[in-house]
Amino acid sequence: MSRPMGDSHRRFLQSMMSNGIIGASQAKALHKHCCETHGAHYAHDRLDEFIDVINTQLQPMFMNIRKGMSEEDGLQYYALVNMAETDVTRMASDYADNELELFRKTMDLIVDSESGSASSTDILNCADSLQTKKLKKKETEHVLNKFVQDKWLNEKHGEYTLSVRCIIEMEQYMRVIYQDLIKVCHVCHNIALQCQICENPRCGIKMHLPCVARYFKGRSEPHCPACNDFWPHEIPEILRSQSQGSQSLSSSAKENTAPTPSTSTTRRSKRS
């Protein structure tokens, strides 16, 4: 039997609805805040059970709070996802048809690429060949910005990648659409886009950069975990942001003693 839902759960869900996605550390702070606001029993290590209670109630609504790892910083995030239409149509209410087509093309470019990213030049080029309605260069840039703002894409030095929210939400859709093109990470078994690839042609497994960092930590001679060939890539270091993440938790928890943890502080801390 699942535990009944209380106001603490409802407040947590409301916050998830207005944020769309939050980092694990913010989720922990929010969990505490919600329990304390409504005088509910709070157990710091029971966040996932707390979320399960919400998910049981959300399931008939074809919604779900799901956990996923960011391909960039390796941190855990929680996203509220809609399972009714895992298709891109999920975004349909917010974007015009040609904007959605641009998003699909961008996704194609990213999935096809080795690096798991698409350059703004390539995206601008395919904006010329949209079938629904062509987008001018300026308009395309504007739409791309909107995708980044709405947390569907990430952008760094003119290179666009799929955001963690996008991957969590569209995982099913991507597996259906791209089938064999999609590979999963050998370590965490989630979709792998920005990753390193084993160069043995008979192997070719993929690993996320943060997963690589964690897997090879402290090993002098890295070998592929599947075929045991030498791993020829540079081993990234475990990102510092993990420790920073827990710091920002304590500070944001303090700042937000009053109402619901505000969106803007979390956004700001992410940008900086």
Partner 1 sequence: MSQRKKASASQSKSQQTNVNEDEMTLSQMTSSQVQRARENFSSVQIDRKVAEVVQFILVKDQKKIPVRRADIVKHVMKEYKVIYSEVMNRVRRTFEQVFGLKLEEIDTKNHIYILINKLEAGETVSMCPGNPKSGLLFVILSIIFMKGGVAKENLVWNTLKKLRVDSGEKHDEFSDVKKLVTDEFVRQKYLEYVKIPHTEPVEFEFRWGLRADIELSKLKLLEFVAELHDQDPQSWTQQFREASASESRT
For residue 19, what are its two tokens?
A: 């944020």
Task: Classify burial at 76, counting beta carbons within 10 Å of its beta carbon; exposed 0-12, middle 13-18, buried 19 or more.
Answer: middle
| Contacts (CB under 8 A) with partner 1, residues 63-102 | 63, 82, 84, 93
63-69: strand order across its sheet: 21-23, 76-82, 63-69
Which 8-state DSSP code applies to residue 177?
H
265 makes contact with partner 1 (CB under 8 A): yes
C-beta of 9: minimal distance to partner 1 in Å?
8
In single-letter form, the type of residue at position 181 comes to: L
Q: Where are the alpha helices (DSSP H) in the chain?
A: 7-19, 24-37, 47-58, 97-112, 120-127, 137-149, 164-178, 209-215, 241-255, 263-271
Among 58, 110, 191, 211, binds partner 1 (CB under 8 A): 58
Task: Give the binding range for partner 1 (CB under 8 A) out of 7-15, 100-108, 220-228, 240-248.
Answer: 7-15
113 makes contact with partner 1 (CB under 8 A): no
132 makes contact with partner 1 (CB under 8 A): no
176 makes contact with partner 1 (CB under 8 A): no
Q: Which is nearer to partner 1, 13 or 110 (CB)?
A: 13
Q: Binding pattern to partner 1, positions 232-261, x when CB under 8 A? A: --------------------------xxxx
Among 61, 96, 181, 227, binds partner 1 (CB under 8 A): 61
> Can you tell me the distance from the alpha carbon of 168 to that of 80, in angstroms, rounded to the nearest whole number?
9
Q: What is the secondary structure of 26-72 as a DSSP string?
A: HHHHHHHHHHHHTT----TT-HHHHHHHHHHHHGGGTEEEEEEE-TT
Which among 256, 251, 215 has a CA at the least distance from the CA of 235?
215
C-beta of 16: minimal distance to partner 1 in Å?
10
263 makes contact with partner 1 (CB under 8 A): yes
Task: Give the binding range for partner 1 (CB under 8 A) out of 5-13, 152-160, 164-172, 205-213.
Answer: 5-13
For residue 159, the SS3 value is strand
Task: Write out the residues near partner 1 by the rule CB under 8 A.
Answer: 5, 7, 10-11, 13-15, 17-18, 37-38, 57-58, 60-63, 82, 84, 93, 258-265
